[in-house]
Structure 1
Amino acid sequence: MPHVIPTNVAAVDLGSNSFHMIICSLQDGKLQTIDRLKEMVRLAAGLDENKTLDHATQDKALACLERFGQRISNFPANSVRIVGTNTLRQARNADQFIHKAERALGHPIHIISGIEEARLIYQGVAHSLASTANNRFVMDIGGSSTEYIIGQHDTAHTKESLNMGCVTVSQNFFKNGHISKKAFKKATLFVEQQLEPFQDTFNSQHYDEAIGASGSLKAISNVLLTSGFSSNGITLAGMELLVAHLLTLDHVDKIHFPALSIERRPVFIGAVAIVYATFKTLNIRQMTVSDGALREGLVHDLLGRIYDHDIRSQTSQTIAIRYHTDTRHAEQIKATIRYMVEQLDDQICFNDNPASLQYLEWAAELHEIGFEIAHSQYHKHSAYIIENADLAGFSKQDQMILSSLVRSHRKKFSLSRFDDLPAPWRRFTPIMSIVFRLATVLHRNRHSIRPDFTISIEGTNIALCFAEQWLEQSPLTQADLKQEAQYLKEARFNLSF
C-alpha cells in the first residue's frame, strides 16, 4: 500500500470517439466525483487505410490532452490511470503519439485489450447502477469497438470486444454522410455478421437485465424519449420507429433531434445501426442506460490498487494455479527477491518504486507456466502466454514488462529484449532481470533454504558475498553462479562472488 493515500484520483479514457476524464475526491475509502471533462476527438476517424493516425487528428487529440493535463499534471503518480483503447491498439504509429500524449498529460498511458476494456466497463456500470438482477448484460459502443459483457453483481464472467464502432460503421457504410436503405441494410448485416459467433452466448435468455453504457447509447435513449418513440429507455419498438424516421432522410446533416448534439450527429447513424442489429440478433426487447462506463471502472480499479486490493495480483495467482505451478518454489524465489531489493534501494529501479517489486513477484509466480506446453525452452512459452493472454487488470505495457522479465530469467541474457519497453522500464528492467535471475539460480535446487548473503550493484558490476565456506559446501550453486557470470559477461555485466 502506498505510504500516502491521495486526496484526489483521476481516470482518463482515450476512446476512439471521445476522450473522457473524471476526477474524484477520496476520503476514508469513499469516492465523490468533483469534475468531469469530455471532448469528442474522433480518434478513429484519423486512421488511414494503412492504420496510421494522421497528423491533423493527432494535433486535435494533443490539444485536448494539454487541457486535461492542466488539471492532473501535479497529481501523484499513484492517483491517476490513463488508458487507450481500440484505435491506439490498431494504430501503427501509436507509440509516437503516446510519447507526445504522455508529455501533455504528465502521466503514463497504458493500452488495454478489448477484453480488459470490457471488464472495466462492467466495473463502472456495477458501481454506478443499483440493480437487483442476478445476471446483467452490458453493452458499450465506442468509436471503433463495441463491448458485450454478462456479469453478476460486480464480476464480469463473459466478455467480448468486436471491431465495430459508431465512427467506423458511420464512415464505412454511410460515406460522406449519405443515408439510404441499402446502406443501412449493409451496415446492420455487417454488425450481425460480427455478432454471429456470439449470438447464443449473449442471447437475452442468459440475463435478467440489459444495460447500455456509452455516450452513443445515452444519445439514442434520449432521442427515443424526447421524440416519443419510447418512454422506457431503449426498446426494440422504439428503435423500429427511430430507424423508420432516419431512413426518410438522405444525409446525416438532416438528422435533427433536440436531444442530439451537433457534434454527435455524424456518427449517430452508425450507432443506431449497431444497436438495432444487436437488439434483433440477441433478442433484446428493452435496455436501461447507465452513467457508469470505462472511466468509472478505471477509478474503482485504481482504488483497489491504492488500498492493496490489486486485481493484477489476484490474476497472477489464478493463472499460476491454472497452470499448476510450484507455489512453494515461487514463494521462496519471491522471498529472496525481496531480500535483495531491500539491499538495493540505491538502485533507481527500486528507489521509491514499489511497482518494480510487484512485477518481480508476479514474474516469480508465473515464470514456470510454460511447463504446461513443454519443459524445453519453457521460459519462452511462459513469456509468450504472459504477453498474449487476456490477463484481468494488466495493460499491454504491463504484460510486455512482465513477459520480458520471464523471458530473460535464464539462459542467454540479451539487453535488446528490453528495447521496445516503455520508459522508464527499458532502463529499469535489466537490473530487475538480474535480480530475478540470481534468485532463480539460488533456488535451482528447489525448496532449498536461502543462505545469508549481501548484494551490491555499481554500474555493471554485481557483487555477491556469502558466509565463509558456504560456496565450497554448495558446489552445485557455485557452478550455477559461474555459468550465470558467463551469461552476464556476454551482456557486459561483471558478476563476482
Structure 2
Amino acid sequence: MQTFAAIDIGSNSCRLKIARVVQHKLKVLHEDREVTRLGSSVFETGLVSPEAMSATLNALKRFQRAVQMHGTDRVRAVATAAMRDARNARAFLAWVRDETGWEVEIISGLEEGRLIHRGVMSNEPGTSGRCLLIDVGGGSCEISLSENKRIKETMSVPLGAVRLTQEFLHSDPPSQEDIARLKQFIARELRRAERRVRPTRVQTVIATSGTAAALSEAGRATTKSRTDGLKKITSTQSIRRLAEKLTKMNNAERMGVPGIGPRRSEIIVAGAHVFAELLEAYSLPGFRYSPMGLRDGILAQMLAEQDPRALAHRQFERERWEAVLEICRKYGVDPRQAEPVRHHAVQLFHDLNSIHRLPKEYLTWLEAAAMLRDIGKFLNYQGYHRHAQYIIANSEMFGFTPVQRTITSAIARYLGKSRPESTGRTMRQVPAEEHEHVRRAVVLLRLAVALNQDRASDVLRVKVQVYPKQVVLQIYPGPTGAELEMWSLRKEAAYFKEVFRKDLFVTLV
C-alpha cells in the first residue's frame, strides 16, 4: 500500500497531510499545520523576510520527520501566492531543497483553484449540480464554478486575508477610511472575477480555508445557522454582521470570539469583508464550510496518477484531456485533424515499447504533444514549432505540472529540421534525467507526423515488426496512395537509427 504526503506552503500557514491508499481510496494517517505568515513581508516589501523563512523551514523540518516516520512513498510540496510574488522565492526554495530534499513547486492561482476543486469534489458529499467554491487564503482568493463535479471555470484574485491586511488595515481597530478603501478594492476585483465566473443557478456554495472555518464557527456561536442535511449553512447576513462587529473590535477582543483565536484574529477582518462582499455581490444566501482543500486535491491527484483502478484516475484523465482540447480550440487547431497523428503516436508507443522503453507516463505527454504540435501557427507559420513549444510550456493546462508541460513542449518542438540537443535552449529547461526520454519520444512523434502527410486521404493503417537489428513499418495505402508518407518516413530513418541503433525500413503492403 502506497503512502502519499501533500504539503501546502501558503501565505499564512504551512499544512501537511499524509494518507495511505487502502482499497483504491485514501485513508488519512496524519495532519499538521503551522502559522508562519510567509506572505506578510512579501506583500509589503516583495521579499520573504529571514524570520518568515526560518519559521517556515522549521515547520517543514517537522513535517519531514512525520513523513519519514510514516514511511511515505511520495511527497508533493507546492507553494502558492506568497512564492508567486516573492522576488527571492527561488533562493528560499533552493534552501528548502538543501535542507529537506524536496523540490517545491510554485503553482499558479488557476492550478491552485483546480486542485482545491479536486480535493473538495473527491471528499465532500452533496456536491452534484452547480456548485461554487470559494477559498480565501492568505495571499489570494480562488473562485471556482463546478457542475456535476466537473470544473467549468476558475479564477484567482488577490484577495487573500494576509495580503489585504498588510495593504489596507494599518490601525487596530481599523479606521473607517481603511475599511472603505478595502471594500473598494474588493469590489473592483470581484467585478473582474464576475466576467469569467458567473455563478447563476448555483445550488451549493462551499467555502474552504482557515478564514472560512473561523467565520463558520464564529457565526454559529453568535447566530442560528440553517441546516442543510448534516451541514450548517452560514448565512450572508450573519457574515455581514460578523464582519461589521469584528471591524469595531481591537485584536485582543477579536481573540475572544469563538473560533477565531490569537493568530487568526490579526487577519480575520480582511477575510470577513472578502466573504461578505463576495456573497452579496453574487447574491448568494451563504456558504457551508468544508475542511477539504489544496492538500486533499494534491493527494487525490497523486492517487489518480498512481492507481488506474481508482475512480479519481478516470476523473483526472478526463480533466487533463479536456485541458489539452481547450488549448487546441483556443489556438485554432481542429482536434479532429490532429487526432490521426495522436492515434499513430499511441500505436507506435505500444508497438515499439521494447525498444523505446519510455516510462508509461510519457504516453500522456506524447499524446498531448501530438494534439498541440500545430498551435504555434496561430502566431506565425514560420518557426511555428518554436512558437508551439513556448505556448505549451507557458499555458495553463489543468493536470500538467510545469515540468510536465516543459517535457510536452520539448516533444512538440523538434518536428522540423532541428534535433533535441542538451545544450539547446529548450532542452536546458528539461530535467537532465529526462533528456534521453524526450529524444525517444520525439522520434515516435516524428514518425506519427510522417504517417499523416496527406490530410485528404484516409488514415493509413500501419503494422510494426521489430527485429534484433531493424524495425519494419508495413504501410497499407489509402484511396489516394501513400507516396508522400513513404517519402517522409524514409527521411526519418537516419535519425531513428541514431536514437534506437536499429535500421528503419518502410514497405507498402
Shorter-chain TM-score tier: 0.7 to 0.9
Q: 1:412 matched to which residue of 2? A: 418
Rounded to whole Å, the distance in 1 between the matches of 2:100 and 2:360 is 22
For residues 348-405 of structure 1, the C-alpha deviation after alignment (integer angstroms, 9 at most, x for no partner) is xx5xx54455434433343234455554333223223322332121223322332233
Rounded to whole Å, the distance in 1 between the matches of 2:500 and 2:197 is 57
Where do 1:315-464 residues align within 5 Å? 315=319, 317-318=321-322, 319-320=324-325, 322=329, 323-324=333-334, 325-338=337-350, 342-343=354-355, 345=357, 350=358, 353-356=359-362, 358-371=364-377, 374-413=380-419, 414=421, 415-418=423-426, 421=429, 425-443=430-448, 444-446=450-452, 447=460, 449=462, 452=465
Cα 1:409–1:80 shift into 2, 3 Å: farther
How much is the aligned-residue C-alpha RMSD, in angstroms?
A: 3.4
Q: Which moved more, 1:18-27 or 1:362-371?
A: 362-371
TM-score normalised by the chain length of structure 1: 0.82
Cα 1:496–1:112 shift into 2, 3 Å: same
Cα 1:314–1:133 shift into 2, 3 Å: closer
Where do 1:35-184 residues align within 5 Å? 35-47=30-42, 51-73=46-68, 79-131=74-126, 134-175=129-170, 177=172, 179-184=174-179
How big is the shift at 1:133?
Answer: 5.8
How big is the shift at 1:428?
Answer: 2.6
Rounded to whole Å, the distance in 1 between the matches of 2:347 and 2:71 is 29
What residue identity is the alignment partner of 2:437? M
Residue 119 of structure 1: SS of its match in structure 2? helix
Check if 1:231 corresponds to 2:225.
yes
Give the aligned length: 464
Q: 2:289 matched to which residue of 1? A: 289
Cα 1:237–1:304 shift into 2, 3 Å: same
The question of whether the paired residues in 1 share the 8 Å contact of 2:38 and 2:52 is answered with yes
Rounded to whole Å, the distance in 2 between the matches of 1:47 and 1:177 is 21
Q: 1:269 matched to which residue of 2? A: 269
Rounded to whole Å, the distance in 2 between the matches of 1:168 and 1:286 is 24
Report 1 or 2 for greater relative contact order, CA contacts < 8 Å, sequence distance ≥ 6: 1
Rounded to whole Å, the distance in 1 between the matches of 2:271 and 2:86 is 22
Cα 1:287–1:440 shift into 2, 3 Å: closer
What residue identity is the alignment partner of 1:386? I
Structure 2's unaligned 5+ residue stretches are 227-232, 453-459, 476-484, 504-509
The question of whether the paired residues in 2 share the 8 Å contact of 1:124 and 1:296 is answered with yes
Residue 156 of structure 2: SS of its match in structure 1? strand
Rounded to whole Å, the distance in 1 between the matches of 2:83 and 2:427 is 20
Residue 127 of structure 1: SS of its match in structure 2? helix
Check if 1:314 corresponds to 2:309.
no
For residues 226-271 of structure 1, the C-alpha deviation after alignment (integer angstroms, 9 at most, x for no partner) is 2x2453443232233223323333x434423142121112111111
Residue 149 of structure 1: SS of its match in structure 2? strand
Rounded to whole Å, the distance in 1 between the matches of 2:50 and 2:111 is 28
Rounded to whole Å, the distance in 1 between the matches of 2:467 and 2:37 is 55
Rounded to whole Å, the distance in 2 between the matches of 1:152 and 1:242 is 30
Rounded to whole Å, the distance in 1 between the matches of 2:278 and 2:366 is 43
The question of whether the paired residues in 2 share the 8 Å contact of 1:128 and 1:291 is answered with no
Rounded to whole Å, the distance in 1 between the matches of 2:113 and 2:24 is 25
Rounded to whole Å, the distance in 2 between the matches of 1:355 and 1:154 is 25
Structure 1 vs Structure 2: percent identity of aligned residues? 20
Residue 436 of structure 1: SS of its match in structure 2? helix
Q: 1:459 matched to which residue of 2? A: none
